[in-house]
Structure 1
């Protein structure tokens, strides 16, 4: 596997020099400063690419070339934004960057209710708790008709939580959930969020899936011609949130997307954490079913509980059968004669780094630990498949 790490650009806490010392060869990044929907110019791409290569690294994957909300809703200026997306893909191809990751999640890119859940080792990890999320939805956001989207026992537990949660804890919960909003450094209010949700009122699962296929029918042929592989990231978490539909959560969802737009460039980011958060997803079966269309790897693991809580675990622990996954990936790469880009997705926050302004899930020590474990696992398994 081509070992990479995510870098959030010049504003990242970590420099390219520091990331290179992790032993990686590739960088996963994006032009985060360009507003969603605008064209990525060839000059802007080459400038960032040159900065990366100056440190002896390669720009292996763009993550992400974001999809404008108008495209997801097929409303407003969505046709203009699709044309802009095509132009960006053409420019990316001319600059020689082979993979573009993206997602099609409405409004919220990802959701966690806790960014500093302490694990048994004393480190801090990301966690999702359906009771805390229901509390946010029902009593902080106060979304109309929210009750119908939560189970009765979860609502009852959320009401109990309401009696004991402090104002400081409410504020922290609000901040944690809204970090999944693009541009979430802004001061979002419940009113702003409810307004965005209202714009999706007529978009159900069927319509969102239709809009995704329509978008891919337009952009995947352009990507194919440009020599760029598209890798859609699964929903995180892989189920509806705030009444918003999710259409990249299960094996059937992925099959629909890949069959409807049956072009090699239309592929998958195989994220073992996001897919593994769904109790019915079989990670090994998904890997085998779509092995020819997997263009990018996010390797991490979570631990799921019976009450719907899940949290990040160590990369080789948790519910993901990581040894078998990595072995099958090595066999797949052997068959394809190709090394797939991989990054150790997320990582715990070591207590000695608690005061650093990392993006949630992107601490240095936690990712170094995950990378070292995955690299060791890969090297050991290589000897068994020669």
Structure 2
């Protein structure tokens, strides 16, 4: 396959979303935490219905990203009941494969993605999300911390927090939980023909709410790669924005691409950027952030990446929809132009 663009980050497969994808020239779609029946796992029939509806529109369902956090939070935290959750997760992986979906994206952040501002002003007054660790550190209670959690990736009650200044779970314990989880899940994914795509921590900091994080710097991903023992089912949903948020910014982006792309371990990419790095950054339009998008596209092609690119977080433009059609159209068009130019220069 060749490098291409998909439309994604929605949880309901509407006719409007499919028309938008077709009209803007994408070849496929991705769904994030789709609204499907099942409180603990997903079934083949429901997943297959998504594939068939997508194909009827002349598109490909490239991947599903994320099950709800409460499907596997005990597995992430090493709590009683984790084996039952892992068994259900494996059943979901099998169902994904049986439905004909090649990739299941996942993260290992028990308390998910944090932001301290969702309407920080950006270029031309567009609204952006921001993260400022100083705001988190100033929180005085769990209730104040809870305001930074997302509401769309699973039940907030499954997202653990401890009182400010205390540790609920440390990094090495989290590594043990990750290894236990992958030892069980990777063989099932291999047998099902499903690739598991790991998303970086967002924001990439060592700990939030007393819960350690693992994938906040390139070294963590390299350790996970070793844990996978060469499994073809292990790889990355490489969020360029998360990598750009890391200390080093564009250097972290380059390191991740140059290490993992030649190994065919980047399954797909969130193409977005930020201004600044942790502990304080703001999301922005492509082309005004830490990295040069032309250089990154060239790096991807030079290093053999042949997966798909995806719109991800985008600024909220005036008059836009809640899903940000305008912002996504800008991001998708930018990516399409980059791909065409990079391919032209490679062939010249």
Mapped to 1, the partners of 2:328 and 2:37 lie a distance apart of 27
Matched with 1:232 is 198
Residues 9/243 of structure 1: CA separation in 2 closer, same or farther (3 Å cut): closer
Residue in structure 1 matched with residue 244 of structure 2 by the alignment: 276
- The match for 2:66 is 64
Aligned-pair distance for 1:13? Answer: 11
2:153 maps to 182
Asked whether the equivalents of residues 216 and 266 of structure 1 are also in contact (C-alpha less than 8 Å), the reply is no
Alpha-carbon offset, residue 357 of structure 1:
3.2
Deviation at 1:142, TM superposition (A): 5.9
- Contact (CA 8 Å) 1:99, 1:296: kept in 2 or not? no
In the other structure, the counterpart of 2:11 is 9
1:215 is the counterpart of 2:181: yes
**How many angstroms apart in 2 are the aligned matches of 1:140 and 1:211?**
24
Corresponding residue number in structure 2 for 1:111: 114
What pairs up with 1:89-168 in 2 under 5 angstroms?
A: 89-107=93-111, 109-135=112-138, 137-138=139-140, 141=143
Q: Any idea what SS the aligned residue of 2:118 has?
A: strand
What is the CA-CA distance between 1:7 and the residue it aligns to?
A: 4.6
Q: CA deviation at 1:48?
A: 1.6
Are the equivalent residues in 2 in contact too, given 1:272–1:320 (CA < 8 A)? no
Contact persistence 2:4–2:307 (CA under 8 A): yes
CA contact (8 A) 1:297 1:341 kept: yes
Residue-pair matches, total: 334
* Cα deviation, residue 275, structure 1: 1.4
Q: 1:250: how far off?
A: 0.9
In the alignment, the residues of structure 1 paired with residue 122 and residue 86 of structure 2 have an alpha-carbon distance, to the nearest angstrom, of 43
Q: Map of 1:247-262 to 2, 5 A cutoff? A: 247-262=214-229
Aligned CA distance change for structure 1 residues 371 and 65 (closer, same or farther; 3 Å): same
Describe the SS at the equivalent of 2:235: strand
TM-score when normalising by structure 2: 0.88
For 2:302 and 2:49, the matched residues in 1 are separated by 36
Checking the alignment, whether the CA contact within 8 Å between 1:111 and 1:180 is kept in structure 2 is: no
**CA spacing shift, 1:96–1:33, aligned 2, 3 Å:** closer
Residues 74, 308 of structure 1: CA spacing in aligned structure 2 closer, same or farther, 3 A cutoff? closer
Structure number with bigger Rg: 1
* SS state at 2:10 partner: coil
Residue 72 of structure 1: how far off its partner (Å): 0.7
Q: Deviations over 1:57-116 (max 9, x none)?
A: 111011113451110122221111111111211121122211110001012x21111111
Alignment match, 1:313: 284
CA separation of 1:101/1:25 partners in 2, compared to 1, >3 Å: closer, same or farther?
A: same
Aligned pairs for 1:11-30 within 5 A: 15-29=17-31, 30=33
TM-score using structure 1 length: 0.79
Q: Which runs of 5+ in 1 are unaligned?
A: 144-173
Q: Provide the rounded CA distance (Å) in 1 between the counterparts of 2:183 and 2:88.
A: 15
Q: CA deviation at 1:290?
A: 1.3
* Cα distance change, pair 9–197 in 1 and its aligned pair in 2 (3 A): closer
Pairing of 1:347-386 with structure 2 (within 5 A): 347-353=314-320, 356-358=321-323, 363-386=324-347
CA–CA distance in structure 2, aligned partners of residues 268 and 63 of structure 1: 11
RMSD, aligned α-carbons: 2.6
**How far is 1:249 from its partner?**
1.1
SS at 1:111 equivalent: coil
| Alignment match, 2:258 | 288
